[in-house]
Every structure is written in C-alpha cells, then in structure tokens.
Amino acid sequence: MKGRIFSGIQPTHGIHLGNYLGALRNWVRLQDGYECVFCIVDLHALTLLRDAGAMRRNVREVAAAIIASGVDPERSTLFVQSHAPEHAQLAWVLQCVTPLGWLNRMTQFKEKAGKNRENAPAGLYTYPVLQAADILLYKATHVPVGEDQKQHIELARDIAGAFNRRFDTDLFPLPEPMIQAEAARVMSLRDGTRKMSKSDPSDMTRINLVDDRETIAQKIRKAKSDSVMGVSYDPASRPEASNLLQIYAALADMGQGEAVARFKDASFADFKADLADLTAARLGPITERMRALMAEPERIDAVLADGAERARASAAPVLAEAYEAVGFR
C-alpha cells in the first residue's frame, strides 16, 4: 500500500455524474493501491441542508451510490461522519490553533456565502477546519481532491504544522493533495461556465445516478447548445459543447482529441444521441445496483454501522493523543 487516503462526499443531494466522474470512479481505482477511508460527510452537509428527512434519505442514497459504483466496504472503510464523534471533537481542538486570518483567505466560503455573508452559518466559515480534522484523525497521507479543494488541503497542512509546533509533537503528518488531472470538472448541462452541482436548484442541470435512461436522454437532448455547426472542442467559445464532449471522452475512457475525431462529421443532434446512449449504458448497471441496495435500507445501515466501528477504532487513539498533547489527559 502506497499510503492512506481520506476522501469525503456531502449528502446534500443524491450523487450526480460530476461526483461520479470527479470522485467516485477514482475512489474505486484507489482501493488497489491505498488503504482508503471514505466518509459521507453529513456534518459538512448541515452547513447547507437543514431538512432532517432529506438528510436521512440522502445519506442512504449516497451510501448506495458509493457501493454501487464499486467501492468495497470490506476493503475500504465507509462510514458517516456524525457516527464518529471524534471528528467534531478534534475539529474543536484544531479551531483553537487556527488563526482567523487563515480562514478569511478561503475562497470557497466567499463563493458559498455569497452576498449574504452576515447570515451565513458559522459552520460554513469553519468548514475547512472540520475538513482538516477529518483528514488528520486518520493520519491520511493523500487526499484526492479537485482543483477547487486544493486550498483547503493546504490549510489542513498548515493546521497540522501549527498543532505540531504549538504542542511540540509530531502527531500529525502533513497530508498531500492528490489532484486528479483527469477529473476535469463536469459542468452544468444548462450553463457550461458553472460546475454540475448537487445544490443547483434545477434538476435539468445535472444527471443523477438514479436517473433512468429516458430521463438521461431528455436531459442531454435539452442540454444547452450553441449555433455553431457540428462538434468541436473549444471551452472558451463553446463551453457547453466542450463540456458534453468531455463527458463523452470520460465515459468512453478516451482522450478528448479522440472524441472530437469520432464526431468530426456528425451533427450535434447525432452526437447528443450517442452521448445519451453511452451515459445510460455506463450508468445503467450502477443505477440498478443502487436501486437494489436502496430497497434494503437495513443492509445499507449495517454496512455503515460496521464502517463507523472501524473508523472509530482508528480515530479514537489519534484523538486521545491530541487530547494528551494539549493537556486534556
């Protein structure tokens, strides 16, 4: 094993194609080379989602999507963040060594809080410290993230260093961000300049892993396109068309040049029809496995309970060491 991975996904909604191509598919592959800890980060989701029923449903749906995509809960630790209270406990300790100035620099807070900053929950502001606790509790060596999360991993390194220096310990190794070049950002189907997102109010902007063949075909048919003839890759002038091409290339496991060559003589409508078929073919088996799992929620709960037990067995001794270092024990 080349190291230990920690990665999380928020249950703010069900999983979409962006999460699958940008995260889940890679999680499945990482299991071969790393000891993996995968977490459904409901404490993080609470910064945006405050609907208890939706939270419960989403946690199970996200767990089903992760398992159906190929994460093996026997090999990897898969659990829900709030089931391991050590995360919140270490986050508090780390908040006490994190200067406010470091959090002020986090661009994601500015983006997510938007103009309504005064009313944004404090949890949204301290979110990166909880993320640092998630990673450091498992002494993770590598954290696979998209480019947008790199700043948070750098912060986690700074926090680990600050803790170690302040309490004269080498408890926390500095985690390395593992930036996935191939995990290009999948953009919204209705606006090629915004990423496909769980929290987008319009369901037509994303393909969900639970969508059936007809829904996928309809969303791709209605995906925004431009007035340029044919298929070409040019993110600056054709963001929507380029996004669809990139999705095709990712699902077909080919380079985008190869995808462009394949459709050089095709109309855009024909390309969209092929993309819809490919998407349905790739996601169909996952959706089927997800549905079967979701029909047995008690099975999902049992997997998550087992995962939480294993996560806590790793996390508790690290929290105990941190408590010892600060003088709580």
Binding site for ligand AQP (CB under 6 A): 9-10, 12, 18-19, 21-23, 48, 145-146, 149, 183, 185-186, 195-199
Catalytic machinery residues: 112, 195, 198
Record the tokens describing residue 223, joined without a space.
């995906």
Nearer to ligand AQP, 142 or 198 (CB): 198
Shortest Cβ distance from residue 249 to ligand AQP (Å)? 14
Alpha helices in the chain (DSSP H): 17-19, 25-30, 42-45, 52-69, 86-95, 100-104, 107-113, 122-137, 150-166, 213-221, 239-252, 256-262, 268-294, 297-326
Distances (CA, A) of 111 to 8, 15, 106, 192, 268: 20, 21, 9, 18, 33
Residues in the chain: 329
Alpha helices in 167-225 (DSSP H): 213-221
Nearer to ligand AQP, 311 or 325 (CB): 311
Residue 38 backbone phi and psi in degrees, to 5: -115, 130
Does residue 106 sit in helix, strand or coil?
Answer: coil
Q: Which residue's Cβ lies closest to ligand AQP?
A: 22
Does residue 41 sit in helix, strand or coil?
Answer: coil
Nearer to ligand AQP, 97 or 135 (CB): 135
Residue 90: HSE in the Cβ half-sphere, 13 Å Cα cutoff: 34
Nearer to ligand AQP, 4 or 97 (CB): 4
Shortest Cβ distance from residue 136 to ligand AQP (Å)? 17
Shortest Cβ distance from residue 57 to ligand AQP (Å)? 15
